[in-house]
A and B are shown apart, each in its own frame.
Chain A
């Protein structure tokens, strides 16, 4: 089974407090810690487990700037066989469709039985996998939290639906799946693992290498574009307890008592 996993380098929200910069044009990027998108990491782990069971290969691919190489290397340290970086100034400002076009062009250069994306990334859009499938005319399933490879024509999958229920489907190969967290337990990657793949060459492909129709990508083709960032104001806002940590605990206990929170 030859498996391709699309991965993205993102600010690690578990490590960072994300805030807006002074002019609202971007998030504050100084001191941000980056890592691989959490959902993509589960997708790579799943691909590796399938390959180890039935044979084949795992390729990780990323569209991004030169720094995205580090996440490809990290996923190769996990066990992916090959990395491909797609990078070109002409891709800047692409919307979801533009990204899907870029990936589609790269995917058509090879043959894959399974194509994975994460269920979503830092922008919460969850769009590239579904678009890619439609452009490649392949079947698609999102939020996949279970995969059983039965034969080389079709596989059995589970999708996460509402309220902890799971939808079981059968899907023909090749197909595109977006992978949900919790499908497996991604292995730990240590410094030593990363060192091992430090000198493996990762090819970098640009628009002309891929032969991409430049009218379909980049900011000029984008139908969706971000104007600015701002801090959300959803509700009325909590009353923030002030004082020392002890005083906060005392105040909270009084409030909890009055609301029936201490039985």
Chain B
């Protein structure tokens, strides 16, 4: 039996998000025989919809001025009105997908499989998928019974994007069906978006970043990293726990909920390598990881690994660099 698969398309300012092509790849991996429909919700979405017809046979559009900002409480209600029960819905696992999807799986009465990073086939109505737990320290295989439909969120970057083909798809306007009983989700009302604070240093422009994570241990230890950054001629950035502890300004955070950086060299000191952190590092820098845990996931993506206590290693490195200069 071929599945009916829907993928929810993220878009902004008339441009389709990179994850759309990844969702298409995930759908093809899940079931090559499936018919895949893209769903676009928003306001003035025609350019978005027509660009998707190259990759999808069918593009469903739900368009209304009141949908200019993606409020997942509203969108969940709209989707539940149009997506038939028993379908499989693929959504990117980001701040929007996390908001929308668990509740959508309840509305559609299907299984919920969050943050999948791989698919390994279907057996007897059950999808075998790969997930990660404990911030990526271990992986798991899970079986998800998709026979009665499922909502699956996909980790961005985990499926290689499908190149846009020549699907020659068509756009179907579903706005009327979605809005049959008015605009849903009125109990949560969007007010505004507050832009990110601007800090003293713009880490998105730095060529050399010396980045610290929870492994720094204590606030006073940051000094040894400041000195290393100075010796290397770079800037200090960090992972999220450092921001949560208010040890550095928010503008220094690298990751999906922080800044996207493109340095030439990235030093990850005491950072485990969660996908939310790695999601903020672009342009394949030369990456060095210093971590006392030889199994830390960061060692899988770094170029060079140093298994040491950073509190000992960093001052030594700084001293040697300064001597050499």
Q: Report if A237 contacts B (CB, 8 A).
A: yes
Q: Which residues of A contact B114 (CB under 8 A)?
A: 96, 124-127
A180 and chain B: residue at smallest CB distance: B257
B149 and chain A: residue at smallest CB distance: A223
Q: Report if B195 contacts A (CB, 8 A).
A: yes
B318 and chain A: residue at smallest CB distance: A249
Q: Which residues of B contact A164 (CB under 8 A)?
A: 196-197, 250-251, 253, 257-259
B260 and chain A: residue at smallest CB distance: A163
Q: Which residues of B contact A172 (CB under 8 A)?
A: 187-188
B194 touches A182 (CB 8 A): no
Q: Report if B138 contacts A (CB, 8 A).
A: yes
Count how many chain A residues have C-beta atoms less than 8 Å from C-beta atoms of the other chain.
84
A256 touches B232 (CB 8 A): yes
B139 touches A122 (CB 8 A): no
Known: A162-B256, A263-B232. A142 touches B313 (CB 8 A): no
Alpha-carbon distance A167/B98, docked complex (angstroms): 14
A 239-263 binary contact with B (CB < 8 Å = 1; else 0): 1110001101110110110011111
Q: Report if B223 contacts A (CB, 8 A).
A: no
B321 touches A238 (CB 8 A): no
Q: Report if A13 contacts B (CB, 8 A).
A: yes
Q: How many A-B residue pairs have CB under 8 A?
A: 278
A255 touches B188 (CB 8 A): no
- Residues of chain A in range 147-181 having any CB-CB distance to chain B below 8 Å: 156, 158-172, 175, 181
A160 touches B259 (CB 8 A): no
B97 to chain A, nearest CB (A): 10
A253 touches B307 (CB 8 A): no
Cβ contact of B101, chosen from A14, A95, A130, cutoff 8 A: A130
B257 touches A122 (CB 8 A): no
B265 touches A131 (CB 8 A): no
Q: Report if A140 contacts B (CB, 8 A).
A: yes
A20 and chain B: residue at smallest CB distance: B138
- Could you tell me the dominant secondary structure of chain A's interface residues? mixed
Cβ contact of B233, chosen from A143, A230, A262, cutoff 8 A: A262
A14 touches B214 (CB 8 A): yes
B 289-318 binary contact with A (CB < 8 Å = 1; else 0): 100011101011111111110001100110
Alpha-carbon distance A219/B197, docked complex (angstroms): 46
Q: Report if A191 contacts B (CB, 8 A).
A: no
A257 and chain B: residue at smallest CB distance: B324
Q: Which residues of A contact B287 (CB under 8 A)?
A: 238
B154 to chain A, nearest CB (A): 13
Q: Which residues of A contact B105 (CB under 8 A)?
A: 97, 131
A229 touches B140 (CB 8 A): yes
Q: List 27 A-B contacts (CB under 8 A).
A: A97-B112, A123-B131, A128-B102, A130-B99, A131-B102, A131-B103, A138-B187, A139-B185, A140-B73, A142-B95, A162-B94, A162-B95, A163-B260, A164-B196, A165-B195, A165-B196, A168-B190, A230-B139, A230-B140, A231-B139, A233-B300, A238-B299, A239-B304, A248-B306, A249-B313, A249-B317, A262-B231
